[in-house]
Amino acid sequence: MSIIDKSGSDYGDKSGAEVADPPEIEVPSGMNKAGKKMALPKAGKYGKYGQHEKPAKPDKPARPLIDFDDANAKVRWKTILDRQRTDLATNLLTISRPRTKLDPIAEGALKTLHEQFMGDPEEAEELEQRVRAAITRKGIASQVKKVTDRLNRRRMTEGRRFVLATTYLFLLWKLVRGDDKAVKKQMEDDLGVAEEIMLDMEARDGPFDVFANLIVESVITRNRLKKSETLLEIVSQQVRAAI
């Protein structure tokens, strides 16, 4: 940079004598032209002078590939798949029971109801096998699952849910044991089938009607009342409305 002498009105000698150029003055590093210190850029988070590059992360070790043909792995996978298959098969024909604890009279009535409509444990197991075989033969497993799910989501009294859970296989068997084509066509309407099952359950001499009568008979016997068909009918009707 050149510094020019400005003394005098015309910037130099008025006589016209040549004036030598002034020497160059070197500005020290870190100084600006005004002689002030210049602020250097601050060091960045990951480096100097504003560089913000993250340090390279070390490579993670590659995960070992799962060997599905390994003998130990096959045993574990088979256990998991069998459990899932069992859960799916069980949920297909299961109505969830309420968590409410029943009193002894209602519990005894449910036990008797199960025996009347489902038989003893061996007969109940045989009935379940017949229902599953019919569902598989007709190819309606997905439709039955929809019906079961719909009934599980349906709002109903706890008494009705107890009865439905106890006798669902019996009610379902009445539907799936018919002609293959007719049953398959009927099961396409899962809402209609669910409504039909509920109507069948609450029909005269159906599971819910029998359950109410069993409760009334137990109460009459416990209180040593004189049995009467009229009394039984009246009280059963009231019990049906209450549960």
Q: Which of 129, 207, 142 is nearest to 173 (CA)?
A: 129
Distance CA 161, CA 180 (A): 29
Average pLDDT estimate for 151-165: 94
Strands (E), the chain: none
Task: Specify the pTM.
Answer: 0.62
| Residue 208 pLDDT grade (very low, low, confident, very high; cuts 50, 70, 90) | very high
pLDDT (0 to 100) of residue 220? 84
pLDDT (0 to 100) of residue 210? 94
Residue 41 has pLDDT above 70, yes or no: no
Amino acid at 141: A
Of 53-67, 87-101, 140-154, 179-193, give the lowest mean pLDDT range.
53-67
- Report H helices in 17-103: 71-92
Phi, psi of 37 (to 5 degrees): -70, 140
| Alpha-carbon dihedral angle through residues 99, 105, 109, 110, given to the nearest 10 degrees | 10
Residue recorded with tokens 């599953």: 132
- 63: CB partners within 8 A, 6+ apart: none
Cβ-contact 157, 243 below 8 angstroms: yes
| Residue 165 pLDDT grade (very low, low, confident, very high; cuts 50, 70, 90) | very high
- Name the maximum alpha-carbon separation found in the chain: 152
Distance CA 100, CA 123 (A): 27
| Residue 18 pLDDT grade (very low, low, confident, very high; cuts 50, 70, 90) | low
Q: Judging by beta carbons within 10 Å of its beta carbon (0-12, 13-18, 19+), is residue 108 exposed, middle or buried?
A: middle
Residue recorded with tokens 């899962």: 190
The fraction of the chain above a pLDDT of 70, given in percent, is 65
Strand partners of residue 37: 31
The phi-psi region of residue 241 (left if phi > 0; otherwise alpha if psi is between -120 and 50; otherwise beta) is alpha
Long-range contact pairs involving 125-132 (C-beta distance under 8 Å, separation at least 24): 127/169, 127/170, 127/173, 128/93, 128/169, 130/173, 130/177, 131/93, 131/169, 131/172, 131/173, 131/176, 132/89, 132/93
**Domain range annotation of the chain:** 104-242
pLDDT (0 to 100) of residue 150? 95
| pLDDT tens figures, 87-102 | 455 578 999 999 888 8
Tally Cβ neighbours within 10 Å of residue 208. 22
pLDDT (0 to 100) of residue 38? 54
Cβ-contact 145, 92 below 8 angstroms: yes
Most confident of 17-31, 128-142, 210-224, 225-239: 128-142
